[in-house]
Amino acid sequence: MDWYPLFNSLRIAAISTGAVFFLGIFAAYYIAKLPRLAKGILDVVLTLPLVLPPTVVGWLLLCLLGPKRPFGAWVLESFGVKLVMTWWSAIFATVVVAFPLMYRTARGAFESFDQSLADAGRTLGRSNTWVFWRVQMPVCRQGILAGTVLAFARALGEYGATSMIAGYTPGRTATISTTVYQLWRINDDAGALKWVLVNIAISAVFLMAVNLLETRERQGRRKGGAK
């Protein structure tokens, strides 16, 4: 059995989760401080990829990155790099669809964060950066971690936008999801079943991890509330 799709899926998911981790936290931290109207608008825009069909996301991404579109053509001309149909093209798709999960979970965690802890740190002479990394992030870590795991699981399961932007080339751009589709298309049910089982196993492990984190967070909150 050729394990390339598993390896490719995992590295795409890992890289995009890394990107989404910082982007999501950054967006959640700054958007939480904005006035209500700006917050509402940005919230809708940044959450849209969660509810849009992946094909719509894929089409929009191709409009931006395609080699015949202005931006894609400029990159191709200036750097000689084609942005679509490579293994890492899928990262664009997975970042866009996984971002809302990270952003929303992180924002939820930041919003339930007791602001007086940050105020206390600042009146005690500690910088905003110190307060963020040493108090706010550790206090919100369960929520952040849950968001990260959800984003990873979503990136791993991405199919629609990925197939449009990276296509299916065995040994190059194939991921688990595009491989399953390809095997089904050529009537290889036995091959498809193997990848389906691999996918179910990975997803189940991740969802169990999310549940575990959420239970721990609830317990932590209860303990904290009982003081």
Residues at the site binding another protein, with contacts judged by CB under 8 A? 114, 116-117, 119-127, 134-135, 138-139, 223-224, 226-227
Give 70 or 224: the residue with its C-beta nearer to another protein: 224
Of residues 134 and 216, the one with the C-beta less far from another protein = 134
Q: How far is the CB of 118 from another protein (least distance, A)?
A: 9
The minimum distance between CB 88 and another protein, in angstroms, equals 37
Toward another protein, which CB reaches closer, 117 or 207? 117
**How near is the Cβ of 108 to another protein at its closest, in Å?**
18
Contacts of 169 (CB under 8 A, 6+ apart): 85
Write down the least CB distance from residue 6 to another protein, Å. 37
Nearest distance from C-beta of residue 147 to another protein, angstroms:
18
Asked if 51 contacts 153 with a C-beta cutoff of 8 angstroms, the reply is no
Tokens of 188: 């290889």
Nearest to 168 by CA among 184, 148, 147: 184
Give 25 or 84: the residue with its C-beta nearer to another protein.
25
Encoded amino acid at 126, one letter: R
Q: Where does residue 65 fall: left (phi above 0), alpha (psi -120 to 50 degrees), or beta otherwise? A: alpha
Note the helical H segments in the chain: 4-31, 36-51, 54-65, 70-79, 89-111, 115-123, 128-130, 137-139, 141-157, 160-165, 176-185, 189-225
For residues 95 and 59, give the distance between their C-alpha atoms in angstroms, rounded to a whole number: 15
Nearest distance from C-beta of residue 39 to another protein, angstroms? 17
DSSP element (H, E) containing 40? helix 36-51
Q: Count Cβ atoms below 10 Å from residue 174 Cβ, excluding itself.
A: 22
Nearer of residues 134 and 172 to another protein, judged by Cβ: 134
CB nearer another protein, residue 123 or residue 187: 123
